[in-house]
Amino acid sequence: MTMFSYSPSKVAVSACLAALVILCFRSNVVSAQKHTAFFIFGDSSVDPGNNNYIDTIPENRANVKPYGQNGFFKDPTGRFSDGRIIVDFIAEYAKLPLIPPFLEPSADYSHGVNFASGGAGILSTTNEGQAIDLRTQLNYFEEVEKWLAEKLGASEAEEDARLHHPEQYVGMVLGNLTIAIQELYEKGARNFGFLSLCPLGCLPVMRALNPKAGEGGCFEQANSLALAHNNALKTLLNNLHYLLKDFKYCNSDFYNWLQDRINNPSHYGLKEGVNACCGSRPYGGVYTCGGTKKVATYELCDNADDYVWWDSFHPTEKIHEQFAKALWDGPQASVGPHNLQDLFFDHEIKLTIGDVVDIITENEEIV
């Protein structure tokens, strides 16, 4: 499959996918000392290597060089990055070890597990048979519950685990996401983190697909879909906050956060916001990085730290780190109503008058 066989809607589904989620749980270990376990559900943006263990297409794998080239890991791990990804940094901030992929042989799930899979979707029809969809990831979570019950004892484990029209498509995605949240809430999950959609139309792959590619612009149809999804997600989470008594969450404004870095890279210690470090022209948007796809040749930049985009779909480790920091201790107005530090360590929310005004204004805009 060549890059240009993708339709814009399929690319939009596959990239920065539909708020597949970071989940945080509080747990008690055998010593009765409280600690945090971190469970991750998602797509290639947070896949630590699960796709290394499934039968899939080369486009859904990142276990070859130059992936992981910056030296943090000895060899490519399956992360779609030049190094670490956002959940690695969040685990570090939470004083946890790296969270293992669920399918890694002999993985220890005591501190959590990562179920994410490159190419996965909230809808089971996304890359069907080539990725681990959300429903399967939820089924895997049930297996982890059983593992924890055997390792920690039943009481501790129970406490640990407490193509369509755009509007129609967003509705289906959010409907499936609601079901997933409610299922996990019923199992004891209380603290959730969500990655909203980035400006999909500004991905290098989408610029390459843009009918006005010669002008270098973003694909506005894809950006509109991302904004529609993000606005619907805000409304959904606000409603769940009232419906589910102990539901707490962090929701990011990834769209504007990343767009600012794309448009103004020099403000953030970067040099290039449009072109990918690894891929083929135009914009590095032809997905050839690693040389394992149908086109075996690709271009590679000298320094990935200068770039927003690592490959045609995914950001560099530097962007992952910057965004992890924003989610970890950013203000409630931008990642609220809680940041991840609040959720991991049960910090009280202390809103200023400015925060309240920002939240009220934001809700009025959604309505």
Average pLDDT of each block of 10 consecutive residues along the chain (367 residues)? 32 39 45 66 93 96 97 97 96 94 92 93 84 92 82 53 58 86 90 91 90 72 90 93 92 93 97 97 93 92 98 97 95 88 74 47 47
Q: Is residue 286 part of a domain?
A: no
Q: Is residue 201 part of a domain?
A: yes
E-strand stretches of the chain: 22-28, 34-40, 112-114, 191-194, 248-251, 272-276, 278-279, 299-300, 307-309
Q: Which residues contact 39 (CB under 8 A, 6 or more apart)?
A: 23, 24, 25, 112, 113, 114, 115, 141, 144, 189
Extract the tokens encoding 352. 């200023």
Q: What is the pLDDT of residue 52?
A: 97
Task: Check which CATH number belongs to the domain holding 205 and give it.
Answer: 3.40.50
**Residue located via tokens 């539901």:** 247
Nearest CA-CA partner of 226 in 308, 170, 275: 170
Q: In the beta sheet, which residues pair with residue 309?
A: 276, 315
- Total tally of structural domains belonging to the chain: 1
Q: Is residue 170 part of a domain?
A: yes
Q: Is residue 291 part of a domain?
A: no
Q: Is residue 188 part of a domain?
A: yes
Q: What is the pLDDT of residue 347?
A: 60
Q: What is the pLDDT of residue 360?
A: 47
Q: Is residue 109 part of a domain?
A: yes
Q: What is the pLDDT of residue 236?
A: 94
Q: Which pairing describes strands 299-300 and 248-251: parallel, antiparallel, or unpaired?
A: unpaired
Q: Which residues contact 211 (CB under 8 A, 6 or more apart)?
A: none
Task: Please give the residue range of the domain that contains residue 60.
Answer: 7-262+320-366
CB 80 within 8 A of CB 277: no
Q: What is the pLDDT of residue 162?
A: 44
Nearest 5°: phi and psi at 359? -65, -45
Q: Is residue 300 part of a domain?
A: no
Positions marked catalytic? 44, 311, 314
Chain centre distance of CA 268: 21
Q: Is residue 353 part of a domain?
A: yes
Angle, vertex CA 180, rays to CA 175 and CA 185, nearest 5? 125
